[in-house]
Structure 1
Amino acid sequence: MTPLKSPRIARRTWWTGTTLLAAGVLALTACGGGGGSTGPQAAASAYAVGPITGFGSIIVNGVHYDDDLARVSDDDGVSRDRSALKLGMVVEVRGRGSDDGVAAQSIVTHSLMRGPVEAVGADSLVVLGQTVTVSPTTFFDDRLAGGLAAVQAGDIVKVYGLLDVATGTYTATRIERHDSGDDPFRLRGVVAAYDAAAATLTIGGAVIDVAGQGLPAGLQAGSLVRVKLQRVQVGGLWVATQVRSGEIRPDDSRHDHAEVEGSITAFTSPTAFSVEGLPVDASQARFDDGTAGLGLGVRVEVEGAIVDGVLVATKVEIKDGRRGGRDDDDDGDVEIKGRIDSVDATAQTLVVRGVTVSFAGDVQYEDGTAADLVPGRKVEVHGVLAADGVTVNATRIELDD
């Protein structure tokens, strides 16, 4: 049965649009016509990086990854329950794919920073000396209902999103309040300056004391790093307790299919660049948006296969309309599938997989009506993020028997 599709967010098979590389790559074999085959002859390895845009499995870059048996951890290596996965979190997914879909084996969340808010503006905030831009598609956790208006100077927050290495500006895809008094602060960013004699490095507006710390090989201005920090400054400096590479790349060097969304962090030419530190060979890629808009800091989605640690691209898409690409029609759209946990008939909201959904507006129903929205009923919700940054306003709800 062909899955129903929302008018704005299309569920796609994970290998759609990609021709798997023949040399050294395991090819998928589709079901043969009339042969009675019930599945592929072999499973293929899958790798993805990008924000979570939906649930019912998790949805990353438009692809559904079954997370039922996945190992979930944060970027400190601390194990988490899959209930900790939230909309807008940037994740790194490894799994096995087939004609039946993709089963995630591991999911790692990657935040940009955790630290105190120093200032709040109309559409941005400053955390650890870094400017973070907030957009209408930025998700906030339930304790920050109201979005940026609920954030105050002095709050400790965790930010997920993308970093424009050309400008040093961060764009948040999710912001959470982080109340733990023991967790160190942390920051992922590009080194603006490194003074070996003074043992300091600068990231945006933060000057960091790295004395006594092991440093990544070749550390210099322009390096992408991830730094853990003591919670209290000393002499106006943040004090590092760990400095390591900020690149996001697979430990294993080969994946049959990969889809990576992120910022270009190194740029040699339109066919040779890196995304979030992962080298890309786009010499054989299709550029639906052309190549003129490509450059350092540009947000892209690259599809292909990872061979010997390099993402050999078959397609490169620019995700920023300001740089000659197409603003994604799905940007900000959310899909949630699961059983209803609770319903508030008065407020006209329901909760599915921890997400509050409003059905108070103009909603298209399939196989039922609003009266059929009861706890335990399985639904597939399509909608958009509300102005409060927390609630999803449903535009379409499909009810399953």
Structure 2
Amino acid sequence: MNTRRLIAFALGLLLLAVMDGCNTTTAGGGTGGTGMVAVVSRGTVSSIGSIWVNGVEYDTTGALLTLADGSTQIDTTGTAGGTVLREGMVVTVSGTHNGATGQADSVSYSRTLVGPITALTTQTGAPAVVTSMTVLGQTVVIDAISGFTRLDPVSWTPAPGDWVEVSGFGLVSGQLHASYARQLLSHGELEMDGVVTAVDTGSFNFTINGATIVQPPVGYGLSPALEGSYVAVAGVAGTTVHIVMSAAPEIKNPELGGDTDEEAEVEGVVSAAPVAGEFVLAGQRVVVDANTQYSGGLAADVVGGVTVEAEGTLGMDGRLYAGEITFKDAVEIEAVIGTYDGVAQTFTLLGLGGLVVSVDDALTTIAAPLVLADGVPVKVRGRMITGGAADVLATKIETGDAAAVQLQGKLDSVTADRSSFTVLGVPVAVTGSLVFELDGSAVDAVTFFDRVLPGQLIEVDGIYSGAVVDWSNVVLEQ
């Protein structure tokens, strides 16, 4: 039993004693009847003040903070959020929570990459937007369109020669999707964390993430067995390699490392579709079964490249046994392109009002031989974005059916009289021909919307009648 659990156990006994002394009864729910349970959670800091990670607000007062340089400090004032911890940083929190709020015992931040920018890619537009940067041979995707990448400072415009600290998630392509990128006005050594993808048994040089070439210290021989390991390296720039290491590589375990049966949450990019009910998410092995619930998608949607959050418990074997998988890329659309703007790289969709889809050079995969143009039928998978010129950022686009229309997304709103509803910002009128389906059975609109509330995932299907959509059925996605 670790220190955190001993403390929680002691507090629980104290609480029970106080309750007994006061002859008070409470509803149960977790240690001491508070509903708080031990948890280890890894994800991006989505908001600060306290820190919000995977939808939970954690108080960091008294928490042990481990910073990027390995130093530690105690947050005595509860003000780490916004000072040493910033929005976009990928952190691991250990503590307790009740699903909405929590108390952090420790928060660990480990940056993924430190080095100078050697090249930039920009997307055309006014103004041009940086979509990726090259650092130590690694392509770092900058998701400025959706705001996923937090630049620090916000006024910084990345330029070649700037030193940068990056935190983020590895993509299936081998690229790094930055959730946090900070300009470094002063710096020390080059740093890189990642998976060893090749070892040269002659020179003992090795490659991280298929891109960054590393030379070990003199006299340090590497075994080919290092291939596949997750390592952290540091050093200086070489003439023929990206990094000449100053010390031996540190082999890390990318898994959460909590206690058996402890609640666990991890956010990241799926490496590949599950095999025998198991997949890897941000270095963590995740197991799914018939009891796993899916929010924002279906089991079949868990494929390589999809961003999800897995929640469950840790097993003795270190695997996360998932009770729920939540999709961050929950939007699916099938329709015909109305107007395509090749400069802004956005398009509207015929019959879907003002819904605008954005294309990102680094984040959007367009299935060949598809070419985006007015009148082209497409299938789009993506995620909702706010505060920009577009409503949806496409992550994948392929050829669609010219006659079919489909909207899958979270229900926005329903009128009080159940005469219409909106999904993805598109209004849909409830007509006598529109069929609503729950659990495989047809129901009326009142019954459907008594059960289905705004925020739940639904699918609306229809066909084109000229430039107008005739909606035919609505289904709750479960």
Q: Is 1:318–1:326's contact at 8 Å kept on the other side of the alignment?
A: no
Q: Match of 1:131?
A: 139
Q: Is 1:266–1:277's contact at 8 Å kept on the other side of the alignment?
A: no
Tell me, in whole angstroms, the C-alpha distance in 1 between the residues paired with 2:252 and 2:306.
Answer: 17
User: What is the TM-score of this pair, normalised by structure 2?
Assistant: 0.55
Taking a change above 3 Å as real, the CA distance of residues 219 and 323 of structure 1, as seen in their structure-2 partners, is farther
After superposition, residues 8-23 of structure 1 pair within 5 angstroms as: none
Q: Match of 2:26?
A: 37
Taking a change above 3 Å as real, the CA distance of residues 271 and 62 of structure 1, as seen in their structure-2 partners, is same
Indicate which of 312, 316, 319 corresponds to 1:304: 312
* Counterpart code for 1:296: G
Which runs of no fewer than 5 residues in structure 1 stay unpaired?
1-25, 334-401
User: What is the TM-score of this pair, normalised by structure 1?
Assistant: 0.65
Tell me, in whole angstroms, the C-alpha distance in 2 between the residues paired with 1:262 and 1:199.
Answer: 31
Tell me, in whole angstroms, the C-alpha distance in 2 between the residues paired with 1:167 and 1:115.
Answer: 21
Taking a change above 3 Å as real, the CA distance of residues 237 and 327 of structure 1, as seen in their structure-2 partners, is closer
Q: Match of 1:314?
A: 323
Tell me, in whole angstroms, the C-alpha distance in 2 between the residues paired with 1:224 and 1:321.
Answer: 32
Q: Match of 1:56?
A: 49
Q: Match of 2:92?
A: 92
> Which shifted more, 39-48 or 101-110?
39-48
Residue 139 of structure 1: how far off its partner (Å): 1.0
Q: Is 2:40–2:92's contact at 8 Å kept on the other side of the alignment?
A: yes
Deviations 1:186-234 (CA, angstroms, capped at 9, x unpaired): 11233332212320112343211125458699322xx252332212314
Residue 329 of structure 1: how far off its partner (Å): 5.2
After superposition, residues 325-364 of structure 1 pair within 5 angstroms as: none
Taking a change above 3 Å as real, the CA distance of residues 175 and 154 of structure 1, as seen in their structure-2 partners, is same
Indicate which of 47, 65, 68 corresponds to 2:61: 68
Q: Is 1:47–1:259's contact at 8 Å kept on the other side of the alignment?
A: yes
* Counterpart code for 1:108: S
Tell me, in whole angstroms, the C-alpha distance in 1 between the residues paired with 2:59 and 2:155.
Answer: 29
- Give the match's secondary structure for 1:292: helix
Tell me, in whole angstroms, the C-alpha distance in 2 between the residues paired with 1:330 and 1:303.
Answer: 24
Q: Match of 1:105?
A: 105
Q: Is 1:188–1:246's contact at 8 Å kept on the other side of the alignment?
A: no
Indicate which of 221, 226, 229 corresponds to 1:219: 226
Is it true that 1:256 corresponds to 2:262 in the alignment? yes
Residue 323 of structure 1: how far off its partner (Å): 8.8
What is the CA RMSD across the aligned residues, in angstroms? 3.3
* Counterpart code for 2:327: I
Tell me, in whole angstroms, the C-alpha distance in 2 between the residues paired with 1:157 and 1:120.
Answer: 13
Tell me, in whole angstroms, the C-alpha distance in 1 between the residues paired with 2:387 and 2:190.
Answer: 29
Which runs of no fewer than 5 residues in structure 2 stay unpaired?
1-11, 13-18, 123-130, 334-379, 389-478
> Which shifted more, 108-117 or 192-201?
192-201
> Which shifted more, 151-160 or 251-260?
251-260
Taking a change above 3 Å as real, the CA distance of residues 151 and 178 of structure 1, as seen in their structure-2 partners, is same
Greater radius of gyration (CA): 2
Q: Is 2:308–2:329's contact at 8 Å kept on the other side of the alignment?
A: yes
Is it true that 1:158 corresponds to 2:162 in the alignment? no
Q: Is 2:117–2:134's contact at 8 Å kept on the other side of the alignment?
A: yes
Tell me, in whole angstroms, the C-alpha distance in 1 between the residues paired with 2:387 and 2:257.
Answer: 31
Residue 328 of structure 1: how far off its partner (Å): 5.5
Deviating runs (4+, > 6 A) in structure 1?
214-217, 322-326, 330-333
After superposition, residues 175-194 of structure 1 pair within 5 angstroms as: 175-181=181-187, 183-194=188-199
- Give the match's secondary structure for 1:37: coil
Residue 71 of structure 1: how far off its partner (Å): 0.8
* Counterpart code for 2:257: D
Is it true that 1:46 corresponds to 2:39 in the alignment? yes
Taking a change above 3 Å as real, the CA distance of residues 116 and 161 of structure 1, as seen in their structure-2 partners, is same
Tell me, in whole angstroms, the C-alpha distance in 1 between the residues paired with 2:113 and 2:69.
Answer: 12
* Counterpart code for 1:314: G
Residue 152 of structure 1: how far off its partner (Å): 1.4
The alignment-based identity, stated in percent, is: 27
Tell me, in whole angstroms, the C-alpha distance in 1 between the residues paired with 2:261 and 2:133.
Answer: 37
Q: Match of 1:201?
A: 206
* Counterpart code for 1:276: A
Tell me, in whole angstroms, the C-alpha distance in 2 between the residues paired with 1:99 and 1:50.
Answer: 15
Deviations 1:148-187 (CA, angstroms, capped at 9, x unpaired): xx211111110111111x2111111111012334x32111
The structure, 1 or 2, with the larger RCO (C-alpha pairs under 8 Å, 6+ apart) is 1
Tell me, in whole angstroms, the C-alpha distance in 1 between the residues paired with 2:306 and 2:267.
Answer: 11
Taking a change above 3 Å as real, the CA distance of residues 169 and 236 of structure 1, as seen in their structure-2 partners, is closer
Q: Match of 1:389?
A: none
Tell me, in whole angstroms, the C-alpha distance in 2 between the residues paired with 1:236 and 1:40.
Answer: 55
Q: Match of 2:340?
A: none
Tell me, in whole angstroms, the C-alpha distance in 1 between the residues paired with 2:93 and 2:229.
Answer: 21
